[in-house]
Amino acid sequence: MSAASPPARTTPRPRAASRPEGVVTMAHGAGGKASHALVESVFLEAFSNPALAPLNDGAVLDIAGQDVAFTTDSFVVSPIFFPGGSLGDLAVNGTVNDLAACGAQPLALSAGFVIEEGFPVEDLARVVDAMGRSAQRAGVPIVTGDTKVVQRGKGDGCYVNTSGIGLVDRRATGLAASSARPGDAVIISGPIGDHGTAVLLARGELGISADVCSDTAPLNGLVAALLEAVGPAVHVLRDATRGGVATVLNEIAAASGAAIVLDEDDIPVRPQVAGVCELLGIDPLYVACEGRMVVVVARERAGEALRAMRSHPLGAGSAVIGRADADPAGLVLEETSFGGARVVDMLVGDPLPRIC
């Protein structure tokens, strides 16, 4: 809808998206098309305000002349413990990374627990201890919290919400999904799909075993190193969680109007992750990472950006995986080894529920 020319006669303003009928389904939680429809039709109108509108990983507010990022995330991963981490690590790293994607260094986290009656105290302590260790690793205090207990059968062990506030780096003020420009380079900070694959295997339902660990990690240090090296040449930062790299890139393409063109051969995927995904018929581009940042950076600074990222322990596997282009506007393409190209669309359903 154009805001420039008012309609000739008064008509009710159409809703941005039609409200889904019926009931909430697992697909509404997958981060793809159904999630977007739900958010746009149910939440955006009721919560309408300028800070919410950009739908980034967090909101940025002015407090006493300082840009402060504010973000929230609930974590419902099943199982709660998996190779490479736990609910506790995810809950801290996920929110630290949402702040990092706003170009912010974390200042403080909150922690809200919804615990199912009967959850072992020892397991709760393991989750909480992991949160404490992850917070220490990220250099952020957990300053406030809340605990609720629900009856048996009204939860799944433990759900954790973390919210975070952080100070936005002054070199990162133009960051937004809409800031991608044709010509920009697209970088990923490491191999994709480790986290989702590790959780999937930990469920033990597939009869597959493979040596895959979650990539969950706090990326605030990596982002600081990147901004130190190339500052405002970074146009977009997004951590690739639910829906994977493909979903994040679709959001960037849609918000910026640019095309994102990937080169299949350049996308880092561990052989064991590629193997599991092939067995299951899942594209690793859609599998959640919890310690990987998608970086869109001005082409002329891409080399410096890549060097800075590779110099950081959590970015050693960084790679340029594609570029922003003018056409096809708003779409994500993947050019294959055989010289073809396919559209990498936004997910419709949810192949991997409860992954984070």
CB of 102 to a second copy, least distance (A): 10
User: Does position 117 bind a second copy by CB under 8 A?
Assistant: yes
> Rounded CA gap, 249 and 289, in Å?
14
Among 16, 18, 66, 266, binds a second copy (CB under 8 A): 66
User: Does position 108 bind a second copy by CB under 8 A?
Assistant: yes
Tokens encoding 204: 């033990």
**Contact set for a second copy, span 160-179 (CB under 8 A):** 161, 163, 165, 167
- Burial class of 308 by CB neighbour count within 10 A (0 to 12, 13 to 18, 19+): buried
User: Does position 316 bind a second copy by CB under 8 A?
Assistant: no
User: Does position 238 bind a second copy by CB under 8 A?
Assistant: no
Segment contacting a second copy by CB under 8 A, of 62-70, 170-178, 255-263, 269-277 = 62-70
CB of 223 to a second copy, least distance (A): 18
Tokens encoding 264: 């299949």
Tell me, what amino acid is at 231? G
Tokens encoding 72: 């929230």
User: Does position 87 bind a second copy by CB under 8 A?
Assistant: no
Using the minimum distance from each CB to a second copy, give the nearer residue, 119 or 286. 119
User: Does position 156 bind a second copy by CB under 8 A?
Assistant: yes
CB of 58 to a second copy, least distance (A): 5
Query: Which residues share a beta bridge with 192?
Result: none
User: Does position 52 bind a second copy by CB under 8 A?
Assistant: yes
User: Does position 58 bind a second copy by CB under 8 A?
Assistant: yes
Segment contacting a second copy by CB under 8 A, of 8-16, 115-123, 178-186, 336-344 = 115-123
Question: Sign of dihedral through CA atoms 281, 286, 288, 292?
Answer: positive
Segment contacting a second copy by CB under 8 A, of 30-38, 208-216, 252-260, 285-293 = 30-38
CB of 175 to a second copy, least distance (A): 15
Using the minimum distance from each CB to a second copy, give the nearer residue, 22 or 340. 22
> Rounded CA gap, 21 and 25, in Å?
11
Q: Are 80 and 127 in contact (CB under 8 A)?
A: yes
Among 32, 103, 106, 155, binds a second copy (CB under 8 A): 155
Report which DSSP code applies to 299: G
Q: Report the half-sphere exposure of 25 (CA within 13 A, side-chain side).
A: 12
DSSP of 138-177, one letter per residue? HT--EEEEEEEEE-TTSSSSEEEEEEEEEEEPGGGTT--G
